[in-house]
Structure 1
Amino acid sequence: MSIQTALQRAAATPLLELDKVSIAYQEATGSRRVVHDVSFSIQPGEVVALVGESGSGKTTTAQAIIGLLTENGRLEQGAIRLNGTDIAHWSSRRLDAVRGAQISLIPQDPSSSLNPVKTIGEQVAEIVNIHRRLPRKQVQRRVLELLTRVGLTHPELRARQYPHELSGGMKQRVLIAIAIALQPALIIADEPTSALDVTVQKRILDLIDELRQEFGTAVLLVTHDLAVAAERADRLLVFRHGRVQEQGVTAEVLRAPASDYTRRLFADVPSLAGAAAPRLNLGTQAPAIQVNGLVKDFRLAGSGGKSYRALDQVSFSVQSGTTHALVGESGSGKTTLARCLLGFQRPDAGQIIIDGTDFTRLKGEALRQFRRRIQLVYQNPFGSLDPSQTLYQVIEEPLLNFEPLGKAERYRRVRELFERVALPDDLLGRKPRELSGGQRQRVAIARALVLQPRVLVLDEATSALDVTVQAQILRLLQDLQQALGLTYLFISHDLATVRQISHSVSVLHRGQQVDGGTTRDLFAMPGSDYTRQLIEAIPGRHWHAAQPKSEDAFHEQ
């Protein structure tokens, strides 16, 4: 074999290749196959995205590559080749030499992926010490280099801190530092930005891309965020029910999806579909919500009486029957404002007027009864429902707390709401664990509506859901608003969704309102640099803007 032929063959060998991989889980009822005959490859320096809804098999496939399937998971058939060598059936001990050195993982949840009792420096040093025997000072120097490389300020301080002392974005940067410590050939990024604000998300994705270009590292991006995949991946693989629906160059798949499922999936992504904001028709009636000069301070523990101003003279009004969005990064004051609106915290100054009543002046039983007019739908449908209650009991409970209704009337009200949120009656006797995420959020919405409130506070109510389920819940919320005349306060860091559902917006930054107005005007002519940065950071918006309307196949359908 000539040297030229050998080089050609080496160049043709993918960094990673999966060949007809099938994976099953062993359950009480027997073996259940969850991944079916999956084949794809990744070349050095390439970004390949696995996209699809929860349960589609994408994370299971990624786990199998690095030998991290759960105890009841097993590779039934197929090959997983790393640089031409099949590692599919290697023992965990043998794979230890590969993990970190050749393939690294950036896990999804930065809050649960770091050891809470070890410093950041110790955890970064650990990966270096496992694979390389270096003097202690050299390891410490490498740790500081890595923390600096991923953009953490004051790396010496960060190395001494514990995970709870860092923000979510900072913790994710630490995980990236660990992942790149040994300059691996492949990084598996499993939903690396799903829990982050849009601007932090952009910075993290930019960082991964910079590292890829610098070191020639390939990236396997596992995500349900199709907008992120559209903007960042060279190639897409669309998963559904453990099978690859289609795969190809990202731009080609987006312009002309081959399967109906892929077309529906893309059509549900607000930033890809180019959804326009609903129009705000100004009425003469009094606003449903009016916030005037709201101020909220928190005392800092151990600071000698110093305080932190979470809200600083925030004012806005919301027209009855419309949706007003609160947007901003973590720490901007969104949640504090919502807690004041719900009566969980009292502002230090200002007014909150709901349906003409100054909410801030109410106390005791008057406050408790007034809370019926404003209800909350939480972010996480998996944690907001009592697992010991049936769905009927979940929805009925507010009636038992507030209204002396007979059993028959309570049953009628619960069934009516169950039907209104498009859930079948035969689920009423089931427990939350038996439902999907979208079904659970429908139950949470029904529970919030059972007291017939005028206002719903939706705290990131769709952020934990897959894109298709998210679209279904947004349509349900719009239908309920039109049918019942509801007013929504929609708290979100997802500006693409905000543009799709909200009539008006307030932008918060470090406790201050830096922008506000109708959604259409704000997106067309943002009034602050901060708002422009938020809009610029929306994943997928640049891809959509660049496409000729006639070629936007999935949007036209």
Structure 2
Amino acid sequence: MTMPILDIRNLRVSYDANVPHCAVNGVSLQVFPGEVVALVGESGSGKTSIAQAVIGLLQGNGRVDGGAILLNGTDITRWSQKRLDAVRGAVVSLIPQDPTGSLNPVMTIGAQVREILTVHGKARGKAADRRVIELLTKVGLSQPEVRARQYPHELSGGMKQRVLIAIAIALEPALIIADEPTSALDVTVQKRILDLIDDLRREFGTAVLFVTHDLGVAADRSSRLIVLKGGEIQEEGATADVLTAPQNTYTQRLLADAPSLSAPARIVRRSRAGETPLVTVENLVKDFALPDGGVQRAVDGVSFGIDPGTTHAIVGESGSGKTTTIRAIAGFERPTSGSILIDGLDARTLKGETLRQFRRKVQLVYQNPLASLDPRQSVFSIIEEPLLNFAPVARDERARRVAAILDRVGLTQATLARRPHALSGGQRQRIAIARALILEPKLVILDEAVSALDVTVQAQILSLLAELQADLGLTYLFVSHDLAVVRQIADSVSVMHEGRQVDHGSVEAVFERPTSAYTRDLIEAIPGRRRQAEGARSNPSETAEGYPA
């Protein structure tokens, strides 16, 4: 019988804090050669702690309290860091989540790849230089000789992640631990990175322990699935079995909440025939001056309208012009040409107090609520602040409005005295939404507002946004790179690529009949499509898109 490369037995991990915290409680699992095992679960489920324990890189206040970690049959649980150095990279490698924070900013890319070769005595001098180029070529980096001389800040996020993969495979390890390796990447870049890991696994017979909160990625890429919650395994089995017939109620909820796996019901889109759009963008152009005197065109001739009470989505990869477009609509960037009308006002011509008052009609909710909320303020002060900035409102009336909007976003009044650091990610995003709505805006711009949230929390926020839109008649401009979410919540969509709008129309039209090759590539790259297609083949009443036929 084949021996597992990784054999975890009854692992227990805890962290010392004001109140000691048990992060992993009696987890046992095995990973065999050539196998991809996915650990899935929400933040705090223990999946990253398991990965870090395997490679001996727990945080300073973390410790293994019990159990055993066997690598190729050898118990490495109590090994010193010096002994673990001998197996890191050679037997087991880690591909971390954050490529920017994982690379040394003052070392060239070539030097960082070469380091693992020299530390383990595998190559030196010109032989090491040749091996570096081979590795950079293998992971698909263009102009590998040039990349080897560059520093991390000169590479895109996808390029940096490829460098980390080159380092991880340099010594052809038996096991790769991939800890959320694509969560910060655009969907098409994500697909290329995941394809690369698959190719390398097949070439070297490497096993992969995939740590992810994205069930779409796990569905497409793993052979076995292990679902974690609260440091304990809730369910495990062949990926296809767990996805098609989950036995555990937590697994069932995760799958129901995952937009890339749940087949969205065909909904009747809101009809606004003959109604004047709340937002009209026509031939929007935005240029930026370059230091050498040249001009960079960030947005090139974008046009769309948003009817009152509907949701328009802008999708595209990093650098596509999404952010510049919404900043122009919000009045933070002055367009080079074109027009932006919001509720009958020309955003380009507004100045001074008129512009300031206009901004109360247009409110933004950002991707990272922790960064957008003042850590020194209480929740009450955060929500109250816009009322102090825009209108003279009596103190008692301010308190009444803050309490009312807090209730509207589903938080208790006890939350008002707390500060952002004491709240969960979902609670912080609800506070950011409450702050945006306190001024009763006409348009709410949601800039990647759910992309940093776990799937269940994401589903709760999307449900809240839909409820608020129905109750308050809100109009949304939803910016995202997650097409599965866009398909679920938007009425219309603009697809942007290199500053241009390459597709535009209703969500149904764009997803089912895309006119550009770029849009087709984006749709093909949505995680979970493989499993949806397989499900559709076994259920002829559904199309491959997951919609009822």
- Give TM-score scaled by structure 1 length: 0.95
Please tell me whether the aligned partners of residues 315 and 322 of structure 2 are also in contact (alpha carbons under 8 angstroms): yes
Cα offsets for 1:410-448 (capped at 9, x unmatched)? 101111110000000001000001110000000000001
Residues in 1 aligned to 2:425 and 2:7: alpha-carbon distance in whole angstroms: 33
State the match for 2:324 in structure 1.
Answer: 336
Task: Provide the rounded CA distance (Å) in 2 between the counterparts of 1:359 and 1:109.
Answer: 38
The equivalent of 1:288 in structure 2 is 278
Establish whether residue 95 from structure 1 lines up as the match of residue 84 from structure 2: yes
Structure 2 residue aligned with 1:119, among 103, 108, 111? 108
1:290 aligned partner, one-letter code: T
Equivalent residues in 2 for 1:31-430, closer than 5 Å? 31-132=20-121, 134-276=123-265, 278=267, 279-301=269-291, 303=292, 305-430=293-418
Change (3 A) 1:342 1:160: same
Q: CA deviation at 1:536?
A: 0.3
Q: Which residue in the other structure is 2:529 paired with?
A: 541
Counterpart in the other structure of 1:502: 490
The answer to whether 1:434 aligns with 2:443 is no
Report the AA paired with residue 245 of structure 2: A
- Return the letter of the residue paired with 1:398: P
Query: Does 1:16 pair with 2:9?
Result: no
Residues 280 and 504, structure 1, Cα contact 8 Å, conserved in 2: no
Question: Following TM superposition, by how much is the alpha carbon of 1:270 offset from its aligned partner in structure 2, in angstroms?
Answer: 1.3
Aligned to 2:470: 482
**For the aligned residues, what is the CA RMSD?**
1.4
Q: Secondary structure at the match of 1:112?
A: helix
2:117 and 2:124 in contact (8 A); partners too: no
Q: Is 1:446 aligned with 2:446?
A: no
Tell me the secondary structure at the aligned position of residue 60 of structure 2.
Answer: coil
Distance 1:365 1:174 in 2: 49
Letter in 1 for 2:452: A
The residue type paired with residue 131 of structure 1 is: H
State the secondary structure of the residue aligned to 1:187.
strand
Segments of structure 2 that go 5 or more residues without pairing to the other structure are: none
| Displacement after TM superposition at 1:133 (Å) | 5.0
Partner SS for 1:34: strand
Tell me the distance in 2 between the aligned counterparts of 1:330 and 1:105.
Answer: 25
Aligned amino acid, residue 12 of structure 2: S
**Aligned partners of 1:277 and 1:501 also within 8 Å:** no
With 123-132 and 432-441 compared, the bigger mean Cα shift is at 123-132
Compare 149-158 and 540-549 and name the one that shifted more: 540-549
- 1-structure distance, mates of 2:33, 2:174: 7
> Are the counterparts in 2 of residues 191 and 221 from structure 1 also a CA contact under 8 Å?
yes
Aligned-pair identity (%): 62
Deviation at 1:282, TM superposition (A): 3.2
Q: What one-letter code is carried by the residue in structure 2 that aligns with 1:334?
A: K
Counterpart Cα distance in 2 of 1:150 and 1:457: 37
Separation in structure 2 between the aligned mates of residue 139 and residue 20 of structure 1, nearest angstrom: 41
- What is the distance in 1 between the residues matched to 2:518 and 2:335? 25
Matched letter for residue 242 of structure 2? V
Number of equivalenced pairs = 541
**How far apart are the structure 2 equivalents of 1:177 and 1:77?**
33
Report how far residue 280 of structure 1 moved.
3.9
Q: d(CA) in 1 for partners of 2:531 and 2:319?
A: 30
* Superposition pairs of residues 520-531 of structure 1, within 5 angstroms: 520-531=508-519
Shift of 1:151: 0.7
- What code does the residue aligned with 2:459 have? A
SS in 1 for 2:369: coil
Question: In 1, distance between residues paired with 2:307 and 2:482?
Answer: 22
CA contact (8 A) 1:318 1:324 kept: yes
Cα deviation, residue 276, structure 1? 4.1
**Contact 1:277/1:500 (8 A) holds in 2:** no
Equivalent residue letter for 1:151: G
Return the alpha-carbon distance in structure 1 between the equivalents of residues 76 and 287 of structure 2: 57
- Deviation string 1:47-101 (CA, Å, 9 cap, x unpaired) is 0000000000000011000001111111111110011111011111110001111
Q: Which moved more, 1:137-146 or 1:370-379?
A: 137-146
Amino acid at match of 2:424: S
Moved more, 276-285 or 505-514: 276-285
Shift of 1:356: 1.1
Note the alpha carbon deviations across 1:245-293, whole angstroms, 9 max, x for none: 0110000011110101100100001121111464241332210110001
Secondary structure in structure 2 of the residue aligned to 1:446: helix
Inter-partner Cα distance in structure 1 for 2:349 and 2:289: 22
Provide Cα deviations, 1:181-217, integer angstroms capped at 9, x if missing partner.
1111111000000001110000000000000000101
Work out the CA distance in 1 between the residues paired with 2:263 and 2:109.
41
Change (3 A) 1:277 1:396: farther
* Contact preservation (8 Å) 2:118, 2:124: no
